[in-house]
Amino acid sequence: MPVVTLPDGSQRSFASAVSLAEIAASIGPGLAKAALAGKIDGVLVDTSAMVTQDAVVSIVTDKDPEALGVIRHSTAHLLANAVQELFPDAQVTIGPVIEDGFFYDFAYKRPFSTDDLAAIEIRMAEIAAKDIKVIRRVMPRDAAVAHFKAIGEHYKAEIIGAIPVGENISLYGQGRWEDLCRGPHVPSTGKLKAFKLMKVAGAYWRGDSRNEMLQRIYGTAWANEKQLKEYLTQLDEAEKRDHRRIGKELDLFHLQEEAPGAVFWHPKGWTLFQTLIAYMRERQRDGGYHEVSTPEIMDRELWVQSGHIEKFGENMFMTKTPDERVFAIKPMNCPGHVQVFKQGLRSYRELPLRIAEFGKVHRYEPSGALHGLMRVRAFTQDDAHIFCTAEQITAESVKVTELILSIYRDFGFTDVRIKFSDRPAKRVGSDEIWDKSEAALKHAAAAAGIETSLNPGEGAFYGPKLEFVLRDAIGRDWQCGTLQVDLNLPGRLGASYIAEDSQKHTPVMLHRAMFGSLERFIGILIEHHAGKLPTWLSPVQAVIMGIAKDQDEYCLEVAENLKNQGLRVETDLRYEKVGFKIREHTLKRVPFLLVAGGREVEGRTLAVRTRAGKDLGSIKLAELGSLLCNEVASRGRLVLEDQVSQRRSA
């Protein structure tokens, strides 16, 4: 008689072994209908799974976080089922769940077309509507190989052949269609109600370019139509905000094949880049950081000593000199900062010592992973390392956390989540050191009053970290800043200080980045603001234009006046209609458009329009400079149009 303990702590006894579906039905018909899967002692399983002894059980519905994975995995099978009904010669290979959806690879004699995708999606809906029961069965590994060979599924047979001899294999079937899978899956195809096929692409079998090319169909699946619609709307909005397209429209940067993963910054883009650096330089100076610059190329042996070659070597660029000496282009700034710390005899009185650098680093990323500014091979980090004692970890971590969150607010990010990433499988240092590092960082997070979620196994190879995740204007998450506690690297590289006991001690090293990669952060900013950057960040903050040639001299005078106040302004003296010029600069997302006609020249004013199309009326030149400077200094918290309204009402 198994006793089942439910999530609310209540218990139910059953006379014999019972399935999760039966347990759900015993609780209520509504739960039985909503059940997609379940958990037995924390393990995710099908609703057909049997409880044979006392266990903690929960029923998974579409309200649970695990539901989407089950739905998407089951929809991948639905896709494969539909493909093989429409194209019987197609062979199935693998169909995993990925972020926001799934894909399935097929071996077929020709590429699938857009029309094929439409037909496949219709057939998927037809199979789902039949509400076919999904059945799991188990067979020995060798029998499974023979089974798939017999039905012509040679790719599946090859996959199973790689599984150790003697293991049992689970298969999931719906009607006459069946596939190899670990599961779990939904109870029936009728549970799959909101899905869409997105695109088709080529993919090599087992990811090896020496193997045959397969057809990969991507899709997305959600718990209901509302979620699907919201996701598709977000995708549409993301496409409109694509930083690569906007970057080209605003003439900010470009990339080209001769320098894969490296950015060619144009004047306006470089202005934005330098504005970020100037801002961060000011914030770091106020925070007690000392800025340094370390070499981009250093001897390979330093990276062996630090552990980077062993743990990160496949992502590093190497170069050899004519005398056969091997150097590495730095993928990180930390070893260089340790070398700065090691110069001279350090005292505990100098700690904490905060060293910062806008360091250019290079990391090898596969060509297929490169994506505009978001994934590059050459980028600049706003990197800093704090050398401190163990007793100073908490106070310094609190300061770093407060600084990071304050900086994100200045850029318009108020929804920030923090993840705690603990030790990865591939790491340096003893478990004892990792225990101390993780405990110290957890204590610091608690002292800072921040809530964290666990990101298991995602720490750096030398220490645990806090990851700061920004949510943008359309609901996407971006991991940017990090804070890492490192009790490994300083000792490996021989860093020490003289403590109060007059003995040498190894310092703790806190790794800290706020933007992470300046290139990537700019990409995120562009997409978050849809290219309409706050005035203080805009490469061009205002454009001055005249209605006729008679106003050219005044426009040039205005430009000189505003430039002398530190504002980034341009003139447009082309002999075009002013409406045409206003539209053009509005599309270029210039925050303010300043128009001068005869009346403005006579009154020493300017007609002011915003890029949103709002007419702020005529403003005296002397007043306008002050208003614009206030707008820039406030970093968007006090917009010019509000200032104008306040002054007029006063």
Per-residue confidence (pLDDT) for residue 223, from 0 to 100: 95
pLDDT band at 649 (very low <50, low <70, confident <90, very high): low
Residue 626: inside a domain, yes or no?
A: yes
List the beta strands (DSSP E) in 235-330: 253-254, 264-265, 290-291, 297-299, 317-320, 326-329
> Between these two residues, 311 and 478, which has the higher pLDDT value?
478
503 and 639 belong to one structural domain: no
Residue 452: the pLDDT is 83
Tell me the pLDDT tens digit for each residue of 362-400: 999 988 889 999 999 999 999 999 999 988 888 898 899
Query: Predicted confidence band at 448 (pLDDT cuts at 50, 70, 90)?
Result: confident
DSSP 589-613: T-SEEEEE-HHHHHHTEEEEEETT-
Residue 163 burial (10 A CB sphere; 0-12, 13-18, 19+)? middle
Share of the chain above pLDDT 90, in %: 72
For the chain, how many structural domains are there in total? 4
- The pLDDT of residue 588: 95
| Rama region for 372: left / alpha / beta (φ>0; ψ in -120 to 50; rest) | left
pLDDT digits (tens, 9 = 90+) for 266-316: 999 999 999 999 999 999 999 999 999 999 999 999 999 998 998 888 999
Q: Are residues 348 and 211 in the same domain?
A: no
Residue 166: predicted pLDDT: 81
The whole-number average pLDDT for the span 582-601 is 94
AA identity, residue 255: L
Average pLDDT over all residues of the chain: 91
Cα three-residue angle 564-287-362, rounded to 5 degrees: 85
DSSP 300-314: HHHHHHHTHHHHHGG
518 shares a domain with 438 = yes
Segment 581-590 mean pLDDT: 95
Pair (71, 56) in one structural domain = no
Instruction: Answer whether 252's CB lies under 8 Å from 529's CB.
Output: no
Question: Can you give the pLDDT at residue 637?
Answer: 65
Q: Considering only residues 47 and 425, tell me which one the structure prediction assigns the higher pLDDT.
A: 47
| Residue 243, in any domain of the structure | no
- What does the block give as tokens for 81? 């089922």
Asked if 160 contacts 236 with a C-beta cutoff of 8 angstroms, the reply is no
Q: What is the per-residue pLDDT for 183?
A: 86
Residues 213-245 have pLDDT tens digits of 999 999 999 999 999 999 999 999 999 999 999
**For residue 346, is it within any domain?**
yes
DSSP state of 90: P
Q: Read out DSSP for 493-514?
A: TT--EE-TTSSEEPPEEEEEEE
- pTM more than 0.85: no
Q: Which residue has the tokens 């104008």?
A: 644
Give the domain CATH number at 25.
3.10.20.30
Most confident stretch, 96-110, 202-216, 429-443: 96-110
Q: How many CB atoms lie within 10 A of CB 561?
A: 16
Distance CA 147, CA 621 (A): 84
Judge if 567 and 522 occupy the same domain: no
Domain's final residue, options 501, 526, 551: 526
Any idea which of 22-36, 433-447, 563-577 has the lowest mean pLDDT?
433-447
* The pLDDT value given to residue 408: 93
SS3 assignment, position 115: helix
Instruction: Just list the catalytic residues.
Output: 334, 363, 381, 383, 385, 465, 511
Pull the structure tokens for residue 122. Answer: 């219709």
Do residues 206 and 180 both lie within one domain? yes
Domain that holds residue 356: 289-526
pLDDT in tens, 54-89: 999 999 999 999 999 999 999 999 999 999 999 999
Distance CA 227, CA 219 (A): 14
| Residues 343 and 419 both lie in one domain | yes
Q: Around Cβ 281, how many Cβ atoms within 10 Å?
A: 16
What are the residue ranges of helices labelled H in 468-541?
Answer: 489-492, 518-528
Are both 388 and 405 inside the same structural domain?
yes
Q: Predicted confidence band at 437 (pLDDT cuts at 50, 70, 90)?
A: confident
Identify the residue whose tokens are 């359309």: 474
Alpha-helical (H) ranges within 18-60 are 20-27, 29-34
Can you tell me the distance from the alpha carbon of 28 to that of 17, in angstroms, rounded to the nearest whole number? Answer: 19
**CA Rg value for the chain:** 30
pLDDT for the residue numbered 647: 64
Same domain? 305 vs 402? yes
Cα gap 370→374, rounded to integer Å? 8
Among 60, 77, 98, which residue terminates a domain?
A: 60
- For residues 495 and 644, state if they share a domain: no
Dig out the tokens for 181 from the structure: 């899978």
Kindly tell me if the per-residue pLDDT of 650 is higher than 60: no
Which SS3 state, helix, strand or coil, does residue 172 take? Answer: strand
Q: Please write the tens of the pLDDT for every residue from 303-314.
A: 999 989 988 889
Give the C-alpha separation, 453 to 205, whole Å. 36
- Distance of alpha carbon 25 from alpha carbon 6, whole angstroms: 14
Q: Which pLDDT score, from 0 to 100, does residue 38 have? A: 94
Question: Given this model, what pLDDT does residue 161 score?
Answer: 85
Q: Is 81 exposed, middle or buried (0-12, 13-18, 19+ CB in 10 A)?
A: buried
Tell me the C-alpha distance between 107 and 92, whole Å.
Answer: 7
Q: Does residue 55 belong to any structural domain of this protein? A: yes
- Domain with 481 in it: what CATH number? 3.30.930.10
C-alpha count within 13 angstroms, C-beta hemisphere, residue 137: 11
Are residues 578 and 609 located together in one domain of the fold? yes
Q: What pairing do the DSSP bridges indicate for beta strands 378-388 and 508-517?
A: antiparallel
Same-domain pairing of 547 and 598:
yes
Looking at the domain assignment, is residue 262 inside a domain?
A: no
The domain boundary residue, chosen from 60, 77, 108: 60
For residues 621 and 596, is the Cβ–Cβ distance under 8 A?
Answer: no
| Region of residue 386 (left: phi > 0; alpha: psi -120 to 50; beta: else) | beta
Per-residue pLDDT at 356 exceeds 80: yes
The whole-number pLDDT of residue 208 equals 78
**Domain assignment present for 280:** no
CATH code for the domain in which residue 178 is found: 3.30.980.10
- When pLDDT is averaged across residues 449-469 and rounded to a whole number, the result is 83
Residue 515 has φ and ψ, to the nearest 5°, of -75, -30
- Res 646 pLDDT > 80: no
